[in-house]
């Protein structure tokens, strides 16, 4: 087992996260040391550095935003829902009497007023069930 060069320790001190993990692994093979020994050498060489944390830190969980249970309605004035030229689509367009905003991407969608209704946005493919 040999000591780690100052140049390698300097390079390690500038790394964080997964990059630090990869470099520690490469140096452990190069010097024949365990990753814990390399991290200890890094901590002793640079005690005030923030990069001296262990390479695997738990990630804080983020709460996902709640999607609305009711559609946000908008005015149908000026909107044209004729992106599908088939005969079935023309029949469905006659039943459209509301315009809503997709909760996933914000695009305008034309829907009938019946409830419950399952909507699949043609833009972002987000599915929503409205009661």
DSSP assignment of 18-71 equals: HHHHHHHHHHHHHHT--HHHHHHHHHHH-TT-GGGS-S--PPPP-PPPPPPSS-
pTM beyond 0.75, yes or no: no
Q: 21 Cβ partners below 8 Å, 6+ apart?
A: 55, 56
User: Is the alpha carbon torsion for 52, 58, 59, 61 positive or negative?
Assistant: negative
Percent of the chain whose pLDDT exceeds 90: 0
pLDDT: is 62 or 131 the higher one? Answer: 131
Residue 33 covered by a domain: yes
Q: Does residue 12 have a cis bond before it (omega within 30 degrees)?
A: no
Residue 1 covered by a domain: no
The boundaries of the domain holding residue 82 are: 72-130
Do 35 and 77 fall within a single domain? no
Residue 66 covered by a domain: no
| Residue 99: strand pairing partners | 74, 110
Question: Sorting pLDDT into bands at 50, 70 and 90, what band is 105?
Answer: confident
Do 93 and 45 fall within a single domain? no
Residue 63 covered by a domain: no
Q: Does pLDDT of 52 surpass 70?
A: no
Long-range own/partner contacts, residues 71-74 (CB < 8 A, 24 or more apart): 71/98, 71/100, 71/101, 71/103, 71/111, 71/119, 71/128, 71/130, 72/100, 72/101, 72/103, 73/98, 73/99, 73/100, 74/99, 74/100, 74/101, 74/108
Residue 62 covered by a domain: no
Residue 32 covered by a domain: yes
Residue 59 covered by a domain: no
| Average pLDDT of every residue of the chain | 79
User: How many domains are there within the chain?
Assistant: 2
- pLDDT tens for each residue of 54-75: 555 555 556 655 656 677 888 8
Residue 109 covered by a domain: yes
Do 43 and 76 fall within a single domain? no
């Amino acid at each position: 087992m040999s000591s780690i060069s100052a140049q390698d320790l300097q390079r390690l001190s500038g790394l964080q996260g997964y990059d630090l993990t990869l470099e520690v692994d490469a140096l452990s093979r190069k010097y024949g040391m365990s990753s814990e020994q390399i991290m200890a050498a890094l901590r002793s060489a640079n005690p005030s550095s923030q990069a001296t944390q262990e390479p695997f830190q738990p990630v804080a969980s983020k709460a996902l935003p709640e999607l609305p249970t009711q559609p946000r309605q908008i005015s149908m004035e000026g909107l044209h829902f004729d992106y599908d030229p088939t005969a079935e689509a023309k029949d469905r367009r006659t039943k459209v009497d509301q315009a809503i905003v997709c909760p996933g991407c914000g695009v305008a969608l034309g829907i009938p007023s019946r409830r419950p209704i399952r909507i699949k946005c043609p833009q972002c493919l987000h599915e929503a069930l409205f009661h």
